[in-house]
């Protein structure tokens, strides 16, 4: 009996040991296949955060394990380059054996304790630190070090050290950290002292030098020599010749001679040129075209027979043939452009041989790179679906639409062959950027009233892409404490029922302190008199002469509360002319004007609504056509906008009027030159023409003067309209012209630009006459109504920070040109705001 018991215990022990080895070894069997991964754990972590690894492994939890998945997980861990060794194992998680636990025992690579640079005299430690991605306390990563070596080497090459050698050494310190040393052998710095040309007869050396990115050393020019720029400069010179008919021009050689001094080695760069003969254009013939006629294709060639060859223009002409086929879905055509050069007549002709194939249809639209944004949110911005004929224009429109969402830092489309010859896959690659903003601190109020305190405290939370749905939710509290405060909550659902139909709702509470003119002394006016004037003036003529602006002692303060609930909706159509948007909404609100009864406001609307809550409602509609490339900082396209509002819907409201705002904007890039690899010298022409008009509501007997609060009339405010003319704000009117023209020069792409501008704005104060004659038969709107300004300044192109700082010189016409003298060299420093629609 005892023997049987001992034998059973021995057998059970062997079985358990074999079972443990069986479960833990991934090499002996495939027992774990089809088991659910319950958890992934790590041992041996010291410097690596568990959360970082969890983010990598969590997607695998809950999946069924097999060898491919197992190797994929290990591959991702090795790709991090955090570990010298990874020992994986699999164990059974529960008694039933349906779930498994994967354990990775890791040996971490050491962290970087110090970074040292040796041999550097051409660059200091701070400059070098800005170039590298390796950092103290980072895990040592050999790939990063290789990248750092390349970055340092390339920077030295840019500075004119063509023979620089950069290596790295690593040593283990006493505290088990790595000391990383970058060893730099700079050799001599070579700078260009002169650039010369030989063989150029047709074009001067000065003209050719302007084509080069390499420059001789001069004031503010370091003259650094870079071999890569020399290659590009050779092509730039050849392009210059070819665009002027010299298609056989060639650079025989570029010699480099040297002169040394105590500071550097000076290079003399000499381009040896053979110009060749000037060629004329001999025309284009087409073969194989059936889909499009020869006449249609010939019309695409803007270069005329007999014109001097402009190679760039001619290439663009021939590319239009490709584009015509491409745009209509014929992307697999073979188009061969065969040149025919006649050296006797010095003419160049082309024979375009076309092999036409079937149209390409979209088989799949695939989105890559989106982690937060849902795929359907991206697909709805793309006007192409499986089964559609491929369209290059629609792909470009989709790219523009996705950029304008402001969800993505980069968007780039790609095309791949589909499962059949006439099928293709459209790949939309996106790189997401943060869409949640949390802002707090001081900001500019953005109020059009120049008398209000311009700084306010801000607390704002906004998500433009709520949970990846493309919808927007925001909360904002804004207070200057001095005279304005507001709180608002808003939600925007961008696509309703799968259509480009938006639906928004918001609640807003506003408090403000305002100034108004008073009418405490006789004669008293009641709001219907045509030539009324407030205290501080002896006549209506004097009131007009001083631009309806009394001194501060004849102004009273009042407080206004406005609570409102807004509901809005809109629809967008994508057309060949641009994006057409139709929007409308209703705002329901209550307003209360509060002031001391010892004052009598000149404005009858304020006077009648004193210390009582009154309804204030608005019904509005907008229609726009948008062809701009990027709406918040466009460089091409146009924008047409019309907004019509009915202010005061019911009889018991204080204000009743109609308002129309019309705007036209046009943008064009005048030039765009690459100066460095990261910066282009670019100029954008921007033109704006706008008109706003206030009308009386049909059927209303009261005049507009008694139907609209003075603060809601049209005005030149000096910030949004008429930069610098804030002293015109109290000259309120019923018609406003807002015109400007700008030359915009981006300094830091997407952040900062320098602008030159000219403003011409005007306001008409008399009701109903506008461009005609008033009741006295006088011209009601003349050049004297205009206020002009010109100057330049910096403009922030960040949508969340639409501020510009400008120096503006102002003038108007009043018995000739009247210049307004400002405090800074006769100019005014103006902070204004950039509005995007």
User: Burial code of 10-29, b = ≥16 C-beta within 10 A, e = fewer?
Assistant: eeeeeeeeeeeeebeeeeee
Contacts of 743 (CB under 8 A, 6+ apart): 670, 683, 684, 685, 686, 755, 756, 757
Structure tokens at 833: 């705001």
Q: Which architecture does CATH list for 24-108?
A: Roll (3.10)
> Stretch 356-380: mean pLDDT, rounded?
92
Closest by Cα among 759, 709, 713 to 733: 713
Work out the mean pLDDT of the chain and round it to a whole number.
Answer: 86
* Digit-coded pLDDT (tens) for 613-630: 989 999 999 999 999 988
Residue 300: pLDDT over 70: yes
Closest by Cα among 342, 240, 202 to 281: 342
> Stretch 602-609: mean pLDDT, rounded?
78
Contacts of 67 (CB under 8 A, 6+ apart): 30, 33
Backbone φ and ψ of 224, nearest 5°? -65, 140
Closest by Cα among 824, 785, 784 to 808: 824
* Digit-coded pLDDT (tens) for 90-112: 998 888 888 999 999 998 888 99
pLDDT value at residue 188: 82
Cβ neighbours of 8 (radius 10 Å):
10
Closest by Cα among 471, 466, 504 to 488: 504
CA dist., res. 563 & res. 669, Å (int): 44
- Evaluate whether 428 touches 368 at the Cβ level (below 8 Å): yes
Residue 161: pLDDT over 70: yes
Residue 144: pLDDT over 70: yes
Q: Which of 135-139, 239-243, 392-396 is the most confident on average?
A: 239-243
Residue 14: pLDDT over 60: no
Beta strands in 518-601 (DSSP E): 555-575, 578-594
Say if residue 579 is exposed, middle or buried (CB neighbours under 10 Å; 0-12, 13-18, 19+): buried
pLDDT band at 363 (very low <50, low <70, confident <90, very high): very high
CA dist., res. 34 & res. 53, Å (int): 24
The conformational region for residue 635 under phi > 0 = left, psi -120 to 50 = alpha, else beta, is alpha
> Stretch 291-300: mean pLDDT, rounded?
94
Closest by Cα among 632, 823, 595, 622 to 744: 632
Q: Which architecture does CATH list for 495-833?
A: Beta Barrel (2.40)
Structure tokens at 439: 């802002």
pLDDT more than 90, % of the chain: 47
pLDDT value at residue 441: 57
* Digit-coded pLDDT (tens) for 498-524: 888 889 999 999 998 888 889 888 888
pLDDT value at residue 819: 93
pLDDT value at residue 672: 87
Whether 361-432 and 112-185 are alike in CATH topology: the answer is yes
> Stretch 166-194: mean pLDDT, rounded?
89
* Digit-coded pLDDT (tens) for 306-335: 999 999 999 999 999 998 998 888 888 899
Structure tokens at 238: 């050849």
CA dist., res. 75 & res. 772, Å (int): 79
Residue 16: pLDDT over 60: no
- Higher local confidence (pLDDT), 483 or 1: 483
Backbone φ and ψ of 227, nearest 5°? -60, -35
pLDDT value at residue 24: 42
Residue 181: pLDDT over 90: yes
pLDDT value at residue 456: 60
- Higher local confidence (pLDDT), 11 or 588: 588
pLDDT value at residue 1: 45
* Digit-coded pLDDT (tens) for 524-562: 887 667 788 899 898 888 887 777 778 888 888 888 899
Query: How is the beta sheet containing 408-417 ordered, strand by strand?
Result: 361-368, 423-432, 408-417
Structure tokens at 471: 């919808």
* Digit-coded pLDDT (tens) for 786-819: 999 999 999 988 766 778 899 999 999 988 899 9
Radius of gyration over every alpha carbon of the chain, rounded to an integer in angstroms: 36
Q: Which architecture does CATH list for 280-355?
A: Roll (3.10)
pLDDT value at residue 19: 42
Structure tokens at 80: 């991090």
pLDDT more than 70, % of the chain: 90
> How distant, in Å, are the alpha carbons of 167, 385, 424, 528, 601 from that of 630?
44, 24, 28, 47, 46
- Higher local confidence (pLDDT), 445 or 400: 400
Cβ neighbours of 407 (radius 10 Å):
23
Residue 183: pLDDT over 90: yes
Structure tokens at 232: 């590009």
> Stretch 704-728: mean pLDDT, rounded?
84
pLDDT band at 79 (very low <50, low <70, confident <90, very high): confident
Structure tokens at 270: 């000499």
Question: Domain 112-185 has what CATH class?
Answer: alpha beta
- Strands 637-647, 618-626: pairing kind: antiparallel
Domain assignments of the chain as residue spans, ordered by start: 24-108, 112-185, 190-274, 280-355, 361-432, 495-833
Q: What is the pTM of this model?
A: 0.55
The fold adopted by the segment(s) 190-274 is: Ubiquitin-like (UB roll) (3.10.20)
Question: Domain 361-432 has what CATH class?
Answer: alpha beta
* Digit-coded pLDDT (tens) for 648-700: 998 888 888 999 999 999 999 999 887 775 678 899 999 999 999 998 898 88
Kindly state the DSSP code that residue 632 receives in the 8-state scheme: T
């Amino acid at each position: 009996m005892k023997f049987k018991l001992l034998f059973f215990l021995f057998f059970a022990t062997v079985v358990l040991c074999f079972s443990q080895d069986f479960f833990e070894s991934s090499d002996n069997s495939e027992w774990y296949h089809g088991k659910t991964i319950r958890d992934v754990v790590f041992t041996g972590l010291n410097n690596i955060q568990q959360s970082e690894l969890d983010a990598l492994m969590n997607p695998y939890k809950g999946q069924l394990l097999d060898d491919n998945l197992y190797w994929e997980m290990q591959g991702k861990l090795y790709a991090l380059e955090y570990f010298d060794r990874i020992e994986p194992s699999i164990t059974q998680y529960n008694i039933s054996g349906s779930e498994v636990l994967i354990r990775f025992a890791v040996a971490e690579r050491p962290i970087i304790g110090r970074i040292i640079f040796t041999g550097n005299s051409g660059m200091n430690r701070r400059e070098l630190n800005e170039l590298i991605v390796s950092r103290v306390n980072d895990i040592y990563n050999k790939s990063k070090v290789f990248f750092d070596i390349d970055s340092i080497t390339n920077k030295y090459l840019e500075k004119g050290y063509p023979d620089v050698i950069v290596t790295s050494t690593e040593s283990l310190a006493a505290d088990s950290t790595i000391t990383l040393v970058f060893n730099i052998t700079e050799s001599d710095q070579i700078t260009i002292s002169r650039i010369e040309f030989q063989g150029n007869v047709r074009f001067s050396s000065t003209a050719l030098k302007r084509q080069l990115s390499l420059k001789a050393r001069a004031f503010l020019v370091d003259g650094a020599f870079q071999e890569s720029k020399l290659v590009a400069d050779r092509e730039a010179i050849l392009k210059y010749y070819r665009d002027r008919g010299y298609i056989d021009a060639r650079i025989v050689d570029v010699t480099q001679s040297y002169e040394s001094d105590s500071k550097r080695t000076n290079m003399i760069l000499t381009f040896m040129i053979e110009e060749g003969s000037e060629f004329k254009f001999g025309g284009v013939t087409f073969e194989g075209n059936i889909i499009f006629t020869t006449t249609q294709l010939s019309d695409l060639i803007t270069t005329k027979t007999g014109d001097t060859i402009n190679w760039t223009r001619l290439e663009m002409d021939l590319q239009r043939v490709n584009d015509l086929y491409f745009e209509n879905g014929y992307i697999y055509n073979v188009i061969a452009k065969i040149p025919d050069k006649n050296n006797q007549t010095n003419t160049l002709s082309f024979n375009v041989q076309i092999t036409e194939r079937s149209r390409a249809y979209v088989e799949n639209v695939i989105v890559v790179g989106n982690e937060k944004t849902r795929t359907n949110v991206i697909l709805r911005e793309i006007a192409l679906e499986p089964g559609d004929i491929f369209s290059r224009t629609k792909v470009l429109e989709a790219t523009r639409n996705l950029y304008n969402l402001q969800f993505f830092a980069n968007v780039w489309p790609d095309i791949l062959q589909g499962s059949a010859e006439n099928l293709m896959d459209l790949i939309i690659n996106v790189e997401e950027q943060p869409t949640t903003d949390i802002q707090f601190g001081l900001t500019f109020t953005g109020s059009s009233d120049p008398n209000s305190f311009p700084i306010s405290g801000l607390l704002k939370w906004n998500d433009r892409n709520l949970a990846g749905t493309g919808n927007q939710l925001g909360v904002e509290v804004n207070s200057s404490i001095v005279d304005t405060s507001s709180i608002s909550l808003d939600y925007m659902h961008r696509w309703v029922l799968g259509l480009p139909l938006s639906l928004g709702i918001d609640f807003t509470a506003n408090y403000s302190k305002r100034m108004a003119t008073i009418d405490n002394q006789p004669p008293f006016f009641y709001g219907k008199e045509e030539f009324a004037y407030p205290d501080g003036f002896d006549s209506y003529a004097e009131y007009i002469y001083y631009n309806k602006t009394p001194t501060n002692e004849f102004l009273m303060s009042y407080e206004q509360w406005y609570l409102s609930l807004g509901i809005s909706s809109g629809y967008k159509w994508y057309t060949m002319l641009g994006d057409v948007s139709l929007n409308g909404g209703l705002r329901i609100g209550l307003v209360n004007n509060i002031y001391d009864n010892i004052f009598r406001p000149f404005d009858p609307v304020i006077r009648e609504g004193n210390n009582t809550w009154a309804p204030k409602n608005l019904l509005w509609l907008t229609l726009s056509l948008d062809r701009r490339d990027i709406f918040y900082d466009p460089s091409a396209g146009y924008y047409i906008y019309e907004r019509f509002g009915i202010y005061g819907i019911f009889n018991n409201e204080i204000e009743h009027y109609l308002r129309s705002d019309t705007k036209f904007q046009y943008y064009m890039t005048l030039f765009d030159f690459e100066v460095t690899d990261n910066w282009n010298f670019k100029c954008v022409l921007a033109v704006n023409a706008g008109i706003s008009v206030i009308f009386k509501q049909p059927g209303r007997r009261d005049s507009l003067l008694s139907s609209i609060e003075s603060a809601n009339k049209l005005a030149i405010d000096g910030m949004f309209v008429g930069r610098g003319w804030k002293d015109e704000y109290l000259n309120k009117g019923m018609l406003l012209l807002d015109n400007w023209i700008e030359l915009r020069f981006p300094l830091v792409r997407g952040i900062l630009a320098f602008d030159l501008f000219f403003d011409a704005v005007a306001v008409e104060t008399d009701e109903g006459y506008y461009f005609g004659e008033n009741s006295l038969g006088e011209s009601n709107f003349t050049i004297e109504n205009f206020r002009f300004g010109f100057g330049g300044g910096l403009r922030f192109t960040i949508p969340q920070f639409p501020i510009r700082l400008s120096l503006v010189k102002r003038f108007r016409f009043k018995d000739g040109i009247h210049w307004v003298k400002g405090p800074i060299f006769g100019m005014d420093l103006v902070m204004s705001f950039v509005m995007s629609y």
